[in-house]
Structures are given as C-alpha cells and as structure tokens.
A and B are shown apart, each in its own frame.
Chain A
Amino acid sequence: MTAAALAQNPPKPILQLVGVRKTFGDFAAVERIDLDIRDGEFLTIVGPSGSGKTTLLRMLAGMEAPSDGEISLKGIRINDMPPSQRPTCLVFQSLALFPHKTVGENIEFPLKVKGVAPAARKQRALELLRLVRLPETHYGKNVMKCSGGERQRVALARALAYDPEVLFFDEPLSALDYKLRKVMEKELKDLHRESGKTFIYITHSLEEAMVMSDRIGVMQSGRLVQVGTPEEIYTRPSTKFVSEFMGEVNVFDAAHENGVWRIDGVEGPANLALPTAMTSAQKAAVVVRPEFMRFVDAPGGADNCLKGVVFNQYSLGSRIQYQVRVAEKTFLLELSRANARKAEGDEALIGWDARDAIVVEA
C-alpha cells in the first residue's frame, strides 16, 4: 500500500483505548487516554519516570484494571480479562527469565502451558533461537549464565513462543550498555518486520524510540500529549514539553505587543521573525534546535540575530556545542568543527532563520 492509500484507509486498530483512566487513591496515574493502535505497527510510548507509561502498559497487558474507560482488542472489550487469557505478552524490564530453567525450557514455557508435545516444543524452541540470532547450542544452557544481550534474546524468543497478537516491552534494554543497546534496538526493529506482530514499547529515551518506532506517543503526567511518526514528533512537537523531551533545545517564551513579537527577557530583535504569521495569539513558546543556530558576522546575517557572550564550549566529537549568554538567557548552538570559530569569553552574534523555529503551545 502506498503512503497515500494508507492515509486514506488506515489499517484497523488492533487495540483501542477509549477514555482509559487509572487512579490510585486520589492520584491519577493515567488520565483519559484515547488511542488506536494499528495492527502490525511498532508504537513506542515515551515519557519521563512517573508519567504513567508503565501503568498504561500494565493495563494493556492486563496486570492492572483501568479505573475508567474501555480497552478493546480487535473490537472485544478486554478490561477485565486476566493476562493469562490475553493473546498479548509482556517482556519485563527485569526480563523475568525463570532462573531454574535452561534457555530451552524458558522458551518452551508457553508451549508447555498449551500442552504441546516435548519434541514439537524443542523444534519450535530451536527455530526461535535462530530467529533471535542465538546459536542452537544455547538450548541447554543455564539461563543465569547467559550474558545481558543473550538474556534479552531469550526473553524475546520466549515471548514469541507464546505467539501473541501484541508484544509489550517495558524498557527491556535499559540495563544494557550503550553499544549493545544500539545493536539490540536495530535487531528489535528487524524482528518486528520479520514477525509482522504489533510491538508496543515503552521507554524514557526518545532516542531509542526514534530508532525503532513507526509511531511515538509522548506522555506527560498521565496524559498522552502527542502521537505521531518520529518525523512529526521531531519536526512538529506540539508542546514545549515534547520539544524539550526531544533533547537539548532552545525554548523561549515570546509575547506579542503592539503588533511585534519579542522574546521575554531579551532586548531585540526588534521583531521576532516566526515561521508562520501569528497575529491572534498573545503568547507563544518558540523552539529552535541548537543545530539550527549559528554565529553570524553582522546583524541581518540571519532572520533573527542576538548579541551575547560565549561562556562554555563542549566537544561532542565531530561537533562542538556552545553556550551563549544573551542577557539572562542561555542559548545552545551546535556547530560542526569547521564553523566553530569562537572561544569562551568571546562576544558573539548568534542567529537563526524563521523557518527553523517551531512555535508550540506556551
């Protein structure tokens, strides 16, 4: 199907959330979430700790019951269906591998539950070992003697052995070191494509979400503030929170006075140039990514120019990051080494173009 056809006729939702809420006493961990999860997609829910993403996942997996609202799977309400009855499977943050069982016995567990004969179980386990790129010799290995990456793969194989419609992931990669995590992220994406199943992943790392997901949902204090493709989330964050969650960005409040936009707390530019003409609003938050900011030689070198002092510079390897102080505000610039021609303490004129700024809800 082409992208246009997809937009016209989106795949049917496999999971549907309508007004889902979860309260613990007076505290609302999840606040009225409406979300359609499409069959076969890789959806990642990101949010800082305490944003309710784990609670949301546990409701989807059946380990918590929603206080309100409705969760349906393929059109059937599953609010009160216990996890053992749901055709879904969760890969835990701790992985929850059975320590007294071998790799093979772990993978075969869901098949043993279903009463599959031992020979058929073993055959399937070996297939799954291949699928998750583990050697067949690991079949009889003690699961506690496996390395971190191997355990991830065993947990994944065990979940796939259950043959669920939807797989949930509760930050299973968080315990791995950076390099291995990068490898596993890509493998998980490959596995998603190969298995054709719906993957729902939660993490606090937007970077991780960007790499793997078809769509990302950003959560903030129990609410789903934006859902979109990684591209949309990156280029068109809907709120200040989402843009800040994306990594280090320049965010400042702007006010509309006498037909001119000004940055709060900063003298000039005389009229802040925004990407879209905004005449109705009185206040807005403006987001400019550090890589879209640059040093300019003279006023007018960019749509918006500000005068400040360089007070910190950090090497990021191929790029250099500057902190430039303008009045009381600090701006971040990220430049390639070729354009990095300022030192700490230098006066600097920084600028950005209107089209590179994003206006979000204040």
Chain B
Amino acid sequence: MNQSVRRSNAFIWTWTIFVLVLVYLPIACGALAGLSKSRYFGFPVAAWSTDWWSRAIDSFEVQQIVKTSVAIALIVTVVAVIVAFFGALAFARYDWKGRRLYQKLVLLPIFFPQPVLGLALLLWMNAVGIQPTWQTAIFAHLVWIVPVVTLVIAIQVYGFDPTLEEAAADLGAGRLFVLREITLPILWPGVWSGALFAFLLSWGNFPLSLYTTGADSTVPEWLYAKMVAGYTPMVPAIGTMSTLAAATLLLTGGLILALLRWRAGKVAA
C-alpha cells in the first residue's frame, strides 16, 4: 500500500474516533451517573447500582409523564405526516402559482427560535382564551414539526416522476387507486423518515412544551424541573432510557426502510 494512502487512512480513523468520543462521552457520563449508587456523580464510579433505573421505572410520576410524552409524540406524528405529505406534494410535485412563496413561508417556522415561538403561542392562547394542557402542546409541536416533516418528505417527492401518475391514469386508474398503488408506495421511504423525525422531535422537545403544556408535564420538562430542584440520579437514568429508546426506534425504522428497499429490489428469478 502506498505510504500517503496509509497516512490518510490513519488520519480518517483518528478523526472519526475523535468525533465519536466527543459526541458519546457526555452520553456515557449520563449513563454512568444513572448506574452509580451515590446520589452525586463521581468518577471513577465507586459503587454500581441499577437502583435508580428500577426506581424510575416504578415511579408513578415518571409513568405519567412518559404517557403524556408518548401520547403527544404519537398524535403529533400522525397529524404531522398527514398534513406534511400533502404539503410536500404541493411543495415539490405540483407547479402552481404561488408555490415559491409557499415553499418559503412553510419553512420559516423552522428558523424561528423555539422559546420565542413557545412564548408567542402561550400569549396567543391566553388572548383567545384557551387553557394550555398537553393537547395544546400538540398544536405547538405541530407548528414547528410540520415544516420539518414537509421538508423531509419533499426531498423524496422531488425524485418522483409525475409521468408515473399520468401513465397509471392513462391505464384506467382513478385518483385514489393511483395514490394507493403508485404515489404512496414510491414515497413510503420519505413518509417513514418523516414519521420518525416527527416522533423524535416531539419526544425530545423542551422549549415548546415548557410554555404550552400548562399543568401537564412531558419527559424533557420533568428532567429539567428535577435538575433545577430536587436532582436524583433518576434524571440521568431516564435520559439514558430515552436515548436507548430513540436509538431502538431509529434502528427499527432503518430496518423497515431496508426491508422496503429489499422488497422493491427483490428478484424472483
């Protein structure tokens, strides 16, 4: 092997390891903090324990906030995917008057600072007399997440050949049949990615939830509250669980996508 190639290979390895350490060390610290017996984190860990994990799992309070967070994230996912799917078709599939303006307007909320957006939503709710609860947080999440999901699905839609729909219609298919047999199956990977994004962005969202859940609390809010006052290692324990769950979800999503691709690429010969 050429020496300069070997040197650049070594550099690539060093660099990737450096980046991974940089990104995962804090997460590892969090994980360790949740697994040590003592209330306050020290390194090296003096005594190991899964006590905080089991306490977190058994805590009624934690179960409640997880339920709230999951409920919000699931509803946000379903609504965001439906709204963003058709939004993405308008964004990337059809050419219509005002499309460029729509493309800009729909993406604007992404760049709006979330704490400000959250506060603005709270003020607006107060003004129209809506009591903030976890349901209002769904709306708040949607304001920010729909644009993101629209963008994710639109990327897939840009690669979609509209003549496929024309061809299907020409072969006698009605609009719904075309949507079911042609448009949706081809856009599935984008829809899946969009759904994953929607769920994870909602699950991990703090600034919007802080202002718009009212008396209810989501996992990030609860973690924050505990860190501000009344810290226990349940915080890093739940943080770790949440990370693991998200990783599992992403892996499952990746597997499903790979499966879809494999099925599309299967050769029966």
The interface stretch among A4-12, A29-37, A106-114, A179-187 is A106-114
Per-position contact with B for A134-177: 1 when CB-CB < 8 Å, else 0?
A: 00011111101100000000000011001000000000000000
Q: Which of B168, B174, B185, B268 contacts A109 (CB 8 A)?
A: B168
The interface stretch among B90-98, B106-114, B159-167, B229-237 is B159-167
Q: What are the residues of chain B within 8 A of A84 when measuring CB–CB?
A: 169-174
Q: A96-B163, A96-B166, A98-B182 are in contact. Are A142 and B171 (CB under 8 A)?
A: no
Q: In the complex the two chains form, what is the Cα distance from A84 to B178 in whole Å?
A: 11
**Contact status B269-A140, CB under 8 Å:** yes
Determine chain B's interface SS by DSSP, over half rule.
Answer: helix
Q: Which of A82, A99, A140 contacts B268 (CB 8 A)?
A: A140
Q: Is B228 an interface residue (CB 8 A)?
A: no
**Contact status A140-B264, CB under 8 Å:** no
**Contact status A61-B267, CB under 8 Å:** no
Q: What are the residues of chain A within 8 A of B266 when measuring CB–CB?
A: 142
Q: Is A360 an interface residue (CB 8 A)?
A: no
**Contact status B186-A100, CB under 8 Å:** yes
Q: Is B61 an interface residue (CB 8 A)?
A: no
**Contact status B163-A92, CB under 8 Å:** yes
Q: Which of A83, A98, A100 contacts B166 (CB 8 A)?
A: A83
Q: Is A90 an interface residue (CB 8 A)?
A: yes
Q: What are the residues of chain A within 8 A of B267 when measuring CB–CB?
A: 140-142, 145
Q: What are the residues of chain B within 8 A of A62 when measuring CB–CB?
A: 170
Q: In the complex the two chains form, what is the Cα distance from A162 to B168 in whole Å?
A: 11
Q: What are the residues of chain A within 8 A of B172 when measuring CB–CB?
A: 84, 110, 113-114, 162
Q: Is B177 an interface residue (CB 8 A)?
A: yes
Closest to A102 in B: B268
Closest to B175 in A: A84
Q: In the complex the two chains form, what is the Cα distance from A114 to B163 in whole Å?
A: 21
Q: What are the residues of chain B within 8 A of A144 when measuring CB–CB?
A: 265
Measured CB to CB, the closest approach of chain A to B193, in angstroms, equals: 17
Q: A99-B186, A100-B186 are in contact. Are A110 and B171 (CB under 8 A)?
A: yes
Q: Is A43 an interface residue (CB 8 A)?
A: no
Q: In the complex the two chains form, what is the Cα distance from A37 to B168 in whole Å?
A: 25
**Contact status A142-B163, CB under 8 Å:** no
Q: In the complex the two chains form, what is the Cα distance from A62 to B171 in whole Å?
A: 12
Q: Is A306 an interface residue (CB 8 A)?
A: no
**Contact status B171-A113, CB under 8 Å:** yes
Q: Is A89 an interface residue (CB 8 A)?
A: yes
**Contact status A113-B177, CB under 8 Å:** yes
Measured CB to CB, the closest approach of chain A to B92, in angstroms, equals: 18
**Contact status A109-B171, CB under 8 Å:** yes
Q: What are the residues of chain A within 8 A of B174 when measuring CB–CB?
A: 84
Q: What are the residues of chain B within 8 A of A90 when measuring CB–CB?
A: 167, 170
Closest to B168 in A: A109
**Contact status A162-B171, CB under 8 Å:** yes
**Contact status A94-B265, CB under 8 Å:** no
Q: Is A63 an interface residue (CB 8 A)?
A: yes
Q: What are the residues of chain B within 8 A of A61 when measuring CB–CB?
A: 170
Measured CB to CB, the closest approach of chain B to A40, in angstroms, equals: 21
Q: What are the residues of chain B within 8 A of A159 when measuring CB–CB?
A: 171
Interface residues of A in 86-144 (CB under 8 A from B): 88-90, 92, 94, 96, 98-100, 102, 109-110, 112-114, 137-142, 144
Per-position contact with B for A58-100: 1 when CB-CB < 8 Å, else 0?
A: 0001110000000000000000001110001110101010111
Q: In the complex the two chains form, what is the Cα distance from A139 to B267 in whole Å?
A: 10
Q: In the complex the two chains form, what is the Cα distance from A53 to B185 in whole Å?
A: 33
Q: What are the residues of chain B within 8 A of A137 when measuring CB–CB?
A: 269
Q: A109-B181, A142-B266 are in contact. Are A98 and B171 (CB under 8 A)?
A: no
Q: What are the residues of chain A within 8 A of B185 when measuring CB–CB?
A: 100
Measured CB to CB, the closest approach of chain A to B191, in angstroms, equals: 13
Q: What are the residues of chain A within 8 A of B170 when measuring CB–CB?
A: 61-63, 83-84, 88-90
Q: Which of B167, B173, B177, B269 contacts A92 (CB 8 A)?
A: B167
Closest to B173 in A: A113
Measured CB to CB, the closest approach of chain A to B106, in angstroms, equals: 28
Q: Which of A82, A96, A114 contacts B164 (CB 8 A)?
A: A96
| Further 16 A-B residue pairs, CB within 8 A, beyond A63-B170, A83-B169 | A61-B170, A84-B169, A84-B174, A92-B167, A99-B186, A100-B186, A100-B264, A110-B172, A112-B181, A113-B171, A113-B172, A137-B269, A138-B269, A141-B268, A144-B265, A159-B171
A residues within 8 Å of B by Cβ?
61-63, 82-84, 88-90, 92, 94, 96, 98-100, 102, 109-110, 112-114, 137-142, 144-145, 158-159, 162
A-B contact pairs, 5 of them (CB 8 A): A96-B161, A98-B164, A98-B181, A98-B186, A141-B267
